[in-house]
Amino acid sequence: MKRIFDTQLIGPFAAMVIAALIVAMTTDRFLNPGNLSNLSLQVSIVALIAIGSTIVIFAAGIDLSSGSMVALLTMILAQMLKFADMPLMLALPLILVVGGLLGLFLGLITAYGRIPSFITTLAALIAFRGLALTFNNGSPIFSLDPALEPIFYGKLFGVPLPFFYLVFFYALAAFMMNYTKLGREIYAVGGNPAAAVLTGINVRKVQTTTFVIAGFMTALGAVLMSARLNSGSPNYGQTLELQAIAAAVVGGASLAGGRGNILATLMGAMTIVIVQNGLNLNAAPSSVQNIVLGLIILLAVGIDMWRAEISALMGRLLGRSPMKPSSKEKRDA
Partner 1 sequence: MTTATPLWEFVDITKAYPGVLANDKVCIKLLPGSIHGLLGENGCGKSTMIKTLSGVQQPDSGQILYNGQQVTISDPQVARDLGIATVFQEFSIVPTLSVGENIFLGNMPRSRFGVIDWGRVQDEAARVLAEMDVDISPDAITGTLSVGEQQLVEIAKAIAIDARMIILDEPTAALGEDEIERLHQLLRKMRSRGTAILYVSHRLDEVERIVDEVTILRGGRVVRASGETEINVSEIVSAMVGEDIGEHYPKEQNATPDVVLEAQGLSTNSGVSDVSLMLHKGEVLGLGGVLGSGRTEIARALFGTDELSSGQIILSGKPVRFRSEIDAIRAGLALVPENRKYDGLFFNFRASGNITASSLGSLSRYGVLNLRAEEQATRELIEDLEISTQAEEKTVNFLSGGNQQKIVIARWLFSDSDILILDEPTQGIDIGAKIAVYKLINKLTRAGKSIILISSDHDELLAMSDRISIVQHGTIVRTVAASNLTHDDLVRASADVPQRNIEEVFA
270/323 Cα distance (integer angstroms)? 30
Q: What is the 8-class DSSP label of residue 84?
A: S
**Least Cβ distance, residue 317 to partner 1 (angstroms):** 17
Query: In whole angstroms, what separates CA 225 from the centre of its chain?
Result: 14
Single residue of 11, 107, 190, 251 touching partner 1 by CB under 8 A: 190
Single residue of 1, 84, 89, 317 touching partner 1 by CB under 8 A: 1
Beta strand 231-232 pairing with 159-160: unpaired
Shorter beta-carbon distance to partner 1: residue 114 or 331: 331
**Least Cβ distance, residue 202 to partner 1 (angstroms):** 6
**Least Cβ distance, residue 213 to partner 1 (angstroms):** 14
**Least Cβ distance, residue 16 to partner 1 (angstroms):** 24
**Least Cβ distance, residue 66 to partner 1 (angstroms):** 25
Stretch 241-270: interaction string toward partner 1, x if CB under 8 A: -----------------xx-----------
48/221 Cα distance (integer angstroms)? 6
Q: What is the 8-class DSSP label of residue 80?
A: I
39 neighbors 162 (Cβ within 8 angstroms): no
Part in contact with partner 1 (CB under 8 A); list of ranges 82-90, 240-248, 275-283, 321-329: 321-329
327 interacts with partner 1 by CB under 8 A = no
Applying the rule CB under 8 A, the residues between 17 and 76 that interact with partner 1 are none
Applying the rule CB under 8 A, the residues between 214 and 243 that interact with partner 1 are none
**Least Cβ distance, residue 159 to partner 1 (angstroms):** 30
81 neighbors 71 (Cβ within 8 angstroms): no
328/258 Cα distance (integer angstroms)? 11
163 interacts with partner 1 by CB under 8 A = no
44/216 Cα distance (integer angstroms)? 15
287/245 Cα distance (integer angstroms)? 20
Part in contact with partner 1 (CB under 8 A); list of ranges 45-53, 226-234, 272-280, 319-327: 319-327
180/79 Cα distance (integer angstroms)? 38
Single residue of 187, 211, 216, 236 touching partner 1 by CB under 8 A: 187
Number of residues that bind partner 1 (CB under 8 A): 31
* Closest to 225 (Cα-Cα) out of 279, 149, 119, 131: 149
171 neighbors 71 (Cβ within 8 angstroms): no
Part in contact with partner 1 (CB under 8 A); list of ranges 136-144, 155-163, 185-193, 277-285: 185-193
Shorter beta-carbon distance to partner 1: residue 145 or 185: 185
136 neighbors 75 (Cβ within 8 angstroms): yes
Stretch 193-212: interaction string toward partner 1, x if CB under 8 A: -xxxxxxxxx----------
Q: Which residues, 6+ apart, have CB-to-CB distance to 93 below 8 Å?
A: none
Footprint of partner 1 on this chain (CB under 8 A)?
1, 179-182, 184-185, 187-188, 190-192, 194-202, 258-259, 321-324, 330-333
